[in-house]
Each structure stands twice: as structure tokens, then as C-alpha cells.
Structure 1
Amino acid sequence: MVFEDGWAVAPFRWLMNALGHAQLARMDAEPGLVAAVDQHAADLRDAFPLDRETLGDYLLGFLDELRHRGWTFTGEPDAPSLRLTAVCWLAREHGFLGDELPA
């Protein structure tokens, strides 16, 4: 995953295109991935209210930290990719992807 232009302008859409669509599709065939993503989603649900703005702010901060650390998505599940997949899943489940607004 390369942090191309647009990641900070519309992070949900950027993340879905960069990682989310493929990872969410993978969940259909991999029960272990479902369990790991569900645990990350539960951690996020417990940490703060799940509204569009709060989850978007969290995502921006998390992506910024990953960018500074030089993290790259290798295609293998690791803690950052599981967390990002959980954000995608939550954004989709809560309808945060349905419009053209930033974040």
C-alpha cells in the first residue's frame, strides 16, 4: 500500500480502494480473518463512539502514524492491516461510504 494523493482528503474511500475491497472479499473465505477483524472492530467500538467523524479522525491519525513508520501492506494479515480492515468493515456496516463527502 502506497500513500498516494488523496489518502488524507477522503480516507475511507482511499482505504477501501487501497486495501478494503480486497480484504473484505477475502473474509468470505477465511474464518480466521473474520475472527481477527471482528476483534479489532470490537476494540474500536469499545474505544470511542462510532460516528463518521470520530472513526474518520481515528483513521487519519492511524494512517499518518503508519506512513511515518514506513509501514507497507504485504498482503499478509498483520496488526495494522487487521485494524485497517476493521475500519473498512465498520465504515461499510455503518453506511459511512455511501456519499462523496471527505472522510
Structure 2
Amino acid sequence: MVFEEGWALSPLRWLMDTLGHAQLARMEAEPALVAAVDQHAAVLRDAIPLDRESLGDYLLGFLDELRHRGWIFSGDHDAPALRLTAVCWLAREQGFLAEPA
């Protein structure tokens, strides 16, 4: 994943544009991916308050850890990709991708 300048200003939008649209489209054709993403979304629902700021802050911390580990998105359904897809799915479903007023 390429971190363009300013990506941290709107991390949910950046993630959706970078990875989310393609991953969410894959979910339409892959029932196993839907189930795996749903499990990751459930973990997030239990772990953090589900609001734009908390989800964005979670994403920033998660991405920092992935960068520290040298993780690169390969298109596989590994745990980091599933978690990032779950963040995208939750952000879309909760309406967090619209620009705040």
C-alpha cells in the first residue's frame, strides 16, 4: 500500500480508495470472504465504540503496526487484509465515508 501525503487526515476515505472498493466488490462473489470479514467486523464492534473518530483512530494504529511489521497487501485473505476490509465495510455501512459537516 502506498501512503500518499495527507493520507492520515482522512484514513477511512484513504483506505476505501486504496483497498476497500476492490475488496468489497470481491465480497459479492466470495461467500467465504463475507463470513471472514463479518467475523473481523464483530471483533471491532466489541473492541471499540463504533463512531467515525474511534474507527479512524483504530485504523491509524493498526496501519502503524502493519508498517512496522513490513506488511504489504498481496491480495490474499490474510488476517490484516480481512481486518482492513472489515474497517472499510463498517465505515461504509455506518456512513462514515461522507465528509463530516
Instruction: State the Cα distance separating 1:69 from its structure 2 match.
Output: 1.3
Kept in 2, the 8 Å contact 1:6–1:14? The answer is: no
Which residue identity is paired with 2:70?
G
Supply the distance in 2 between the matched residues of 1:65 and 1:19 (Cα, whole angstroms). 17
Where structure 2 has 5 or more consecutive residues not aligned to the other structure, the ranges are none
Provide the identity percentage.
Answer: 79
Aligned to 2:41: 41
Aligned to 2:64: 64
1:8-87 equivalence runs, <5 A:
8-87=8-87
| TM-score, length of structure 2 as denominator length | 0.94
Kept in 2, the 8 Å contact 1:3–1:67? The answer is: no
Where structure 1 has 5 or more consecutive residues not aligned to the other structure, the ranges are none
Supply the distance in 1 between the matched residues of 2:98 and 2:39 (Cα, whole angstroms). 25
Question: What is the aligned residue count?
Answer: 101
Kept in 2, the 8 Å contact 1:23–1:85? The answer is: yes
Supply the distance in 1 between the matched residues of 2:95 and 2:21 (Cα, whole angstroms). 15
Which residue identity is paired with 2:82?
L
